[in-house]
A = this chain, B = another copy of it.
Amino acid sequence: MELIFNTADELDPRGHYDTLKGKIMASLFFESSTRTRLSFESAMHRLGGNVIGWADPSVSRYGDPTRGETFEDTIRMVDDYSDVMVIRSPQTGLNYYPYIAADIAIVPVINAGYRLPAEDMEHPTQGLLDIYTIRREKGRIDGLKIAVRGDIRYDRTIHAWLYGLARYHVEILLACPDGGEPPGKYLDYVKKNRATYRKVSLEDAVREADVCFVSGAGSYRGRKLDQLGEHERVDAMKYIEEQGIDLHKLKGAKKDLIIMNDLPRSSIHGFTIYPEVDSSPYAAYFREAANGVRVRMAIFSLIVP
């Protein structure tokens, strides 16, 4: 991680390099994505490389064994056409695509996020850029109190983030609803490494933390909002309202607290961070998004042969 972060520090995300001139990134998104896909593509272009692939999950018949070519054969093909693959798994079915591809391909494979089952959902490059943002904003990671607010059972970014933060001397404050904790394997990994964690209330997360990460508002107690019964839904909507951060809720926070979020910070259920926070000194989430290009440039620089 430190190697990636040091490399990222040296790179200008608006600069232009010839490092990967003539190299080709295969952008294989079996689930559509804008933020992740465009930041990978921007990173590749900044380093002088090119992009082939697909942005549209409707092309995901490739790799669907009931409709045609096996995923393995698709990867063997793309392996011949590219120098690095960026793969996001589809929303349904078995989802170990990046791992299967890494077994088969000669070129390096980057996991751009996968889903299901909960205990294996990870989005490693997003986790990396979030930890990098902490280091960049705070000048250090060790010694910080780092909170996360929200239902994170299915939050693939937080899962990857926990794996990464585990390697630092930090205290992780979990402000999750009951049932919305991360799967045990991530917490076990934290325990076995350098970090510690404890559960806190939503209020204490804001009050005690140096860094407060806000998770999305799409699920509650480990279930999608639209799968909840009427009664649970009332609870969930109340929780989402409690969770949404506005300036009022930031009273009592440390003066140098930073609020982070991997965006989007809004959904059909409302904002997890209200726009009024954007112009406050706490708001680090747009700089965090910008760091996506920098960290992905660093990863490409380090792994593309």
Q: Is the Cβ of B16 less than 8 Å from the Cβ of A65? A: no
List residues of chain B with CB within 8 A of the CB of A290: 80
Closest B-chain residue to A13, C-beta based? B80
The 8 closest A-B pairs by CB, nearest first: A16-B22, A69-B264, A80-B290, A42-B81, A45-B50, A41-B52, A38-B52, A38-B81
A53 at the A/B interface (Cβ < 8 Å)? yes
A32 at the A/B interface (Cβ < 8 Å)? yes
A255 at the A/B interface (Cβ < 8 Å)? no
A234 at the A/B interface (Cβ < 8 Å)? no
Closest B-chain residue to A14, C-beta based? B83
- Shortest distance between the CB of A130 and any CB in chain B (Å): 15
- Render A49-64 as a binary contact track against B, CB cut-off 8 A, 1 for contact: 0111111101100100
Contact pick for A48, options B22, B66, B76, B293, CB 8 Å: B22
A233 at the A/B interface (Cβ < 8 Å)? no
> Which among A86-94, A184-192, A245-253, A265-273 touches the partner chain?
A265-273
- Render A198-212 as a binary contact track against B, CB cut-off 8 A, 1 for contact: 000000000000000
A237 at the A/B interface (Cβ < 8 Å)? no
CA distance A53 to B51 in the complex (A): 12
Answer whether A77 and B289 are a contact pair too, CB < 8 Å, given A52-B41, A68-B264: yes
List residues of chain B with CB within 8 A of the CB of A289: 76-77, 80
CA distance A123 to B67 in the complex (A): 22
